[in-house]
Structure 1
């Protein structure tokens, strides 16, 4: 069975260089290095100042279009840096899809952090999400942002996929607290909740965060899943990135949420992190795998 992240098109470094120099001759000669790849895009750093993302799947082209319309408006209103799009590549005979270049967000993805370092980012993350979630969703609609067409909080719809990945983790002997994870997954029952419409990042996890030289979160990248939906989709980061006492700091700054929202956020954190474990293992990305497993430990920390 193919994985959700399997690519339909992979843009090599030489092809990326050709495409960028063809569309944007002012950047020639291009120096290029691979930053990484996710479900939807292959990502290159260009001239140490820009980042270019090339869709790996046709589905991602629509997501890129939404980013291009929203992010220039959003960038100045958020308390953290985001990758603002500035170069817009068009399909041609060599590559059939659009692609986008952004200002490079300075910093690094979070690696191994102490609990104290994580707690330092609690208020920063809370202010960022409070600001994002209060952005007028009607204005986001006008800029082409969709509602949650994937029903990301439909627990029962996704339970079988979650069980598959958890089983793979057991077979590969990846997680030291496998029994705790399995007991949680076995206990999942549908949560009936009131719909809420806020602008959400949609895919907020360790690979889409940037930290500064002090290991404090300074930027948020990869807005391909941005949509109008329930805040729990983003609040999952309070479980997967922060220790339990850090969550107290987070929600004091963000604002109190109801018990169902907490439960939904924890479930979303588990689902996203388990998928991230499966993806990083499949791609041989041991660094992300290690950090994702650490995220699971935080989620189940009391």
Structure 2
């Protein structure tokens, strides 16, 4: 079932044809479709070294190419700055074989996504996440600040989207309680300067091995943002005790911690209703995140 209006379809034969035509040196490598709970790309493994990612949302080829080039630059900047492996850009493919957009090739990372192997009770995993976020924050912003329209800037700019989510969630969630929660979260002040962040530390972007962090995916959003943004991982990934371990490892004060909760809230509210039928794993992730947030509701 398609997740988005006019979503593109990428059959395995299309991926095979595009790889063979544009990168003939890989013709001998098998191409395997990778089952993923992600929402933005069809993913194929090329041999045992590479991953091809084909955007699913329709768009203009030129704007898609600019976005993929920007994501590749972000991946190159991040590479080697943390002890946890991240994908590195390999190539940028062109439209063809009936597929209308540019597409990308990255290095393949071993491991199991946290959507399939839940690390939520692992204290060791929480320590790893704290190390990762501290490493990201230590990277020089080079004077850059948040310039996006999504999560990572001013919480209040998400009011209209939250209203849309509340209206679509009335038969799914305790919307009156969630509205009260948002009223408290949206007004949290911002005091800290931007730092470098991953920006989307959800279970599908985190690789796990033996209850430890084995790698980090989808690094194209790496860039400057609210330091609290990567704290979404506390609510998307961790249960109560490991969550507190993460907080101690990052030295978060109450304000930063609550702002992290706010960003997780914004993301989770959109997942539950939007992907209810088309991506149940993402919908359930959003619901579980909201349950964790409400269970930790501040008395104020």
Output the TM-score relative to the length of structure 2: 0.82
Looking at structure 1, the residues matched to 112 and 275 of structure 2 have their Cα atoms a distance apart, in angstroms, of: 18
Partner residue, 2:197: 200
Structure 1: gaps of 5 or more residues: none
Q: Please, which moves more after superposition, 22-31 or 181-190? A: 181-190
Looking at structure 2, the residues matched to 54 and 124 of structure 1 have their Cα atoms a distance apart, in angstroms, of: 30
**Is the aligned partner of 1:148 residue 2:152?**
no
Question: Is contact 1:148-1:227 (8 Å) kept?
Answer: no
**Is the aligned partner of 1:210 residue 2:214?**
no
Question: Is contact 1:55-1:61 (8 Å) kept?
Answer: no
Question: Is contact 2:18-2:97 (8 Å) kept?
Answer: no
Partner residue, 2:231: 235
For 1:1-302, what aligned pairs fall within 5 Å after superposition?
5-6=4-5, 9-29=8-28, 30-36=30-36, 38-57=38-57, 58=59, 60-91=64-95, 94-111=98-115, 113=118, 115-117=120-122, 119-138=123-142, 147-150=146-149, 152=151, 153-171=153-171, 173=172, 175=173, 180-194=177-191, 196-212=193-209, 214-254=210-250, 256-283=251-278, 285-302=279-296
How far residue 42 of structure 1 moved from its aligned partner, in angstroms, is 2.4
CA RMSD of aligned residues (A): 2.9
Tell me the secondary structure at the aligned position of residue 220 of structure 2: coil
Question: Is contact 2:31-2:47 (8 Å) kept?
Answer: yes
Structure 2: gaps of 5 or more residues: none
- Structure 2 vs 1, CA of residues 155 and 282 (structure 1 numbering), >3 Å: closer, same or farther? farther
Alignment size in residue pairs: 288
Tell me the secondary structure at the aligned position of residue 42 of structure 1: strand
Question: Is contact 1:5-1:40 (8 Å) kept?
Answer: no
Output the TM-score relative to the length of structure 1: 0.82
Question: Is contact 1:63-1:225 (8 Å) kept?
Answer: no
